[in-house]
């Protein structure tokens, strides 16, 4: 039997996947943990109790939070930022953790929106100064603009100056009649149509969704009207214009596209014309010679303004009034985005352009606005500042789900990751744009990628890995490294993700991934799989990827970061009812859904009560809560009628909230002996010496460490301790020899390292 000493000075590998339990050959094994629950790993090596949660809002049922919530940060300037909480047709707006009320003088504490619960889980957004743009494939793009102050906001559907068009179903018609261009050289021309006879008009005999039965006096020739337009000029359905796609001269039935909004009937007046509003965006081609023009405006029934795509040979009439086949109307060009074709799925600003990526009907297309003209998508003459449209045609289905403006424009799809390269930092133009494939991992839809220190973090399509999309100087391309390889068990059916950048040199970036509910992965307990947050502390310049997980009395549903404030939506069961709360992590708290009471407190926190009754706790009705008064933990209380009775009144500080368990467990002891490993031998930890920093509470293997000093003074709080505490003797042999460090009271705790002695037997 021998006695060995071990010291763990760093925990920066965080909680490691149970599948790595035997990998004592890895350096990370000696910096890792078997369990890291409700702690934050520090990049310097230690761990600390995670911050508690400050309660902000009981989300009203009118917002249907059970159907979806989304937290969206909106940073207007370096001194002013907001957090939007989107629920069904509402947006609650917070500034510095304070809810904005009386929005637009309405008396409401929310902004009314058209963003419903069906799109909230998959909505995407971007911003430019005071304008927030929200998109979804089932939502016409919306902009939210801050007004003169924090309670003045406007929300509207974006009106585009020029909406991009796409040839969804191209059909060519050769109408009767003559077409005359006004010029062979001008960019902008007029097209004049000459009818084969006087404008046909009359009273319809009948109508249906996609047809109209013309008057019995109309032509009996089937070729007479296809490619022309029928306009309803009076009575039922008046004001509608449609393209005639087919005509039966015997029955006088004309088929039209698209279907009528209001079907005509036997009272409807109509006329047949050469041009009407549905012709805008379509093309006229010279079939017998050459020439092509895109119609941009309807001047009259017979005159249209057009843009020359290919100059016509001369200005003579093309065709005659009594023949067809000399010119054609090329149709099928529609707005790329509409209620029938769907809207963009993702959006970002990049190089003074507004970029949209993917839509329901065009999932692998990219659209970029004109430079500094964000709502104009006019292609024009393909000049350097004109709009851009490009489609990624690859050998697999790659639907665009996200974009990010980084070193290059990065495009994330369901099957691969792409980027738009810029040689010599030249700007992207219609003539040089190219979309290059980088890696083939695929990104999970609905989870917005986050900017990291060196690249872009995204969840792989299947939701089982966290990857970083970063440029490699070795590969001269992008790579997608799996940075969750050692702790993939902590990512379970992810729902949301946000990153809080380090605010000083003592911190790393913190990536927070909200997990769904799954029992498929048995490496994590069922409780730990339901609504937890996987928290990755990142300082990649020092090779720090330190994961832990956060749990609460309920389930985390959403997360969002407003500069340094981390907001969450939490689902809780309170007094046998399901509640949805908005809460925010607070480094000065050690309980969840908590209120603090102190002098000069700002809402929703309270002023310190002058008696032993603490009120305003209706959001925790019938719940068992922890009470901390002046750094003294009182006996547990049950909230009744929104209040609790304290054991003693406080003099400076009171916190009341829900408890959560913070626990850290080391990996099985392995001393790296020259004679071999000791994994198969029974071992006993004889003593342990945790190195603490500003710590008030800690238990090691069930032994409570005393932090109060003698002589004890009644009502005196626990003084924060910095230094080394020794615990001995510890009893019990096992095959693992692990230390379990638990914070049994809602007080502060930071452990920088731990030294322990182990007795090894046979």
Mean pLDDT across the stretch 144-173?
Answer: 94
Q: Is residue 187 included in any domain, yes or no?
A: yes
pLDDT in tens, 621-659: 999 999 999 999 999 999 999 999 999 988 888 999 999
Q: Which residues pair with 294 in a beta bridge?
A: 283, 307
Q: Tell me how many domains the chain contains.
A: 2
Contacts of residue 122, Cβ cutoff 8 Å, sequence gap at least 6: 136, 137, 345, 445, 446
Would you state the structure tokens that stand for residue 75, as one six-digit string? 């940073």
Per-residue pLDDT, 527: 46
Q: Which of 643, 659, 675 is the last residue of a domain?
A: 659
- Final residue in a domain of this structure, among 335, 355, 390: 335
For the segment 266-318, what is each residue's pLDDT rounded down to a tens digit? 999 999 999 999 999 899 999 988 899 999 999 999 999 999 989 999 999 99
Q: What is the mean pLDDT of the chain?
A: 91
Q: Contact, 452 vs 480, CB < 8 A?
A: no
Of the chain, the percentage scoring pLDDT greater than 70 comes to 96
Residue 90: which of 548, 541, 698, 580 has the closest Cα? 580
Q: What is the DSSP letter of 718?
A: P
Question: Is residue 328 situated within a structural domain?
Answer: yes
Domain that holds residue 649: 592-659
What is the token pair recorded at 753?
Answer: 């390292």
Q: Classify residue 614: in a domain, yes or no.
A: yes
Instruction: Output helix, strand, coil percentages for the chain, rounded to the nearest 5.
Output: 5, 45, 50
Say which residue, 535 or 609, is predicted with more confidence.
535
pLDDT value at residue 520 = 47
Q: Is 619 helix (H, G, I), strand (E, B) or coil?
A: helix
pLDDT at 524 > cutoff 80: no
Residue that the structure tokens 């010599």 belong to: 424
Cα separation of 371 and 353, whole Å?
5
In a domain, 189, yes or no: yes
Spatial separation of the C-alpha atoms in residues 174 and 171, rounded to whole Å: 10
Of 304, 335, 366, the one marking the end of a domain is: 335
Q: Which residues are paired to 165 by β-bridges?
A: 335
pLDDT tens per residue, range 365-374: 999 999 999 9
pLDDT digits (tens, 9 = 90+) for 403-429: 999 889 999 999 999 999 887 778 999
224 domain-assigned: yes
Please give the DSSP secondary-structure letter assigned to residue 342. Answer: B
User: Does residue 597 belong to any structural domain of this protein?
Assistant: yes
Q: Determine, yes or no, domain membership for 230.
A: yes
Q: How many residues does the chain have?
A: 762
Question: Does residue 649 form part of some domain?
Answer: yes
Q: Six-digit token pair at 91?
A: 């947006």
């Amino acid at each position: 039997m021998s006695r060995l000493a071990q010291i763990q000075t760093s925990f920066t590998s965080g909680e490691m996947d149970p599948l790595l339990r035997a990998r004592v050959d890895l350096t990370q094994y000696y910096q890792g943990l078997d369990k890291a629950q409700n702690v934050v790993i520090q990049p310097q090596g230690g761990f600390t109790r995670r911050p508690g949660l400050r309660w902000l809002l009981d989300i009203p049922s009118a917002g249907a939070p059970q159907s979806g919530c989304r937290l969206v940060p909106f940073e207007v300037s370096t001194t002013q930022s907001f957090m939007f909480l989107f629920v069904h047709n509402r947006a609650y707006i917070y500034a510095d953790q304070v809810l904005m009320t009386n929005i637009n003088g309405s008396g409401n504490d929310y902004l009314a929106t058209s963003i419903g619960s069906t799109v909230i889980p998959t909505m995407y957004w971007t911003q430019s100064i005071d304008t927030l743009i929200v998109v979804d494939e089932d939502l016409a793009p919306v902009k939210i603009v801050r007004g003169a102050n924090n309670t003045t906001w406007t929300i509207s559907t974006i009106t585009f100056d020029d909406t991009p068009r796409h040839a969804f179903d191209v059909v060519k018609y050769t109408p009767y009649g003559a077409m005359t261009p006004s010029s062979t050289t001008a960019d902008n021309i007029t097209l004049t149509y000459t009818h084969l006879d006087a404008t046909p008009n009359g009273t319809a005999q009948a109508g249906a969704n996609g047809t109209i039965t013309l008057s019995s006096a109309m032509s009996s020739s089937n070729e007479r009207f296809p490619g022309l337009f029928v306009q309803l000029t009076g009575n039922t359905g008046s004001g509608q214009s449609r393209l005639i796609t087919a005509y039966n001269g015997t029955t006088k039935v004309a088929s039209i596209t698209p279907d009528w909004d209001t079907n005509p009937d036997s009272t409807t007046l109509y006329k047949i014309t050469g041009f009407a509003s549905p012709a805008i965006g379509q093309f006229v081609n010279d079939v017998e010679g050459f020439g092509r023009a895109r119609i941009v405006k309807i001047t009259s029934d017979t005159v249209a303004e057009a843009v020359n795509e290919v100059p016509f040979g001369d200005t003579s009439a093309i065709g005659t009034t009594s023949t067809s086949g000399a010119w054609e109307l090329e149709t099928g060009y529609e707005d790329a985005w509409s209620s029938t074709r769907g809207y963009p799925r993702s959006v970002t600003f990049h190089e003074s352009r507004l970029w949209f990526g993917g839509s329901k009907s065009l999932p692998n297309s990219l659209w970029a606005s004109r430079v500094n003209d964000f709502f104009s998508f006019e292609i024009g003459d393909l000049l350097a500042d004109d709009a851009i449209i490009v489609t990624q045609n690859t050998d697999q289905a790659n639907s665009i789900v996200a974009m990010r403006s980084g070193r290059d424009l990065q495009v994330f799809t369901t099957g691969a990751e792409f980027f738009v390269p810029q040689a010599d930092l030249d700007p992207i133009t219609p003539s040089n744009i190219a979309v290059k494939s980088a890696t083939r991992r695929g990104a999970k839809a609905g989870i917005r990628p986050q900017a990291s220190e060196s690249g872009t973090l995204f969840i792989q399509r299947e939701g089982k890995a966290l990857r970083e999309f970063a440029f490699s100087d070795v590969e001269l391309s992008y790579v997608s490294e799996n940075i969750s390889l050692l702790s993939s068990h902590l990512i379970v059916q992810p729902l949301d993700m946000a990153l809080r950048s380090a605010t000083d040199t003592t911190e790393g970036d913190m990536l927070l991934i909200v997990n769904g509910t799954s029992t498929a992965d048995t490496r994590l307990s069922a409780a730990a799989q339901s609504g937890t947050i996987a928290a990755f502390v990142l300082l990649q310049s020092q090779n720090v990827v330190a994961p832990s997980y956060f749990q609460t009395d309920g389930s985390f549903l959403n997360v969002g970061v407003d500069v340094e404030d981390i907001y969450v939506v939490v689902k809780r069961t309170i007094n046998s009812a399901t509640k949805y709360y908005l809460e925010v992590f607070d480094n000065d708290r050690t309980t969840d859904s908590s209120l603090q009471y102190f002098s000069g407190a700002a809402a929703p926190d309270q002023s310190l009560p002058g008696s032993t009754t603490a009120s305003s706790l209706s959001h925790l009705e019938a719940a068992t809560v922890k009470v901390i008064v002046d750094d003294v933990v009182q006996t547990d209380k049950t909230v009744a009628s929104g209040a609790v009775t304290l054991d003693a009144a406080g003099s400076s500080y009171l916190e009341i909230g829900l408890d959560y368990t913070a626990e850290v467990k080391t990996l099985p002891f392995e001393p790296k002996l020259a004679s071999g490993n000791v994994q198969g031998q029974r071992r006993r930890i004889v003593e342990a010496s945790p190195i603490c920093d500003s710590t008030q509470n800690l238990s090691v293997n069930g032994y409570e460490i005393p932090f109060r000093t003698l002589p004890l003074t009644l009502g005196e709080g626990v003084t924060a301790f910095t230094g080394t505490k020794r615990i001995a003797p510890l009893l019990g042999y096992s095959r693992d020899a692990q230390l379990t460090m638990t914070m049994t009271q809602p007080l502060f705790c930071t452990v920088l390292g731990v030294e322990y002695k182990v007795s090894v037997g046979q």
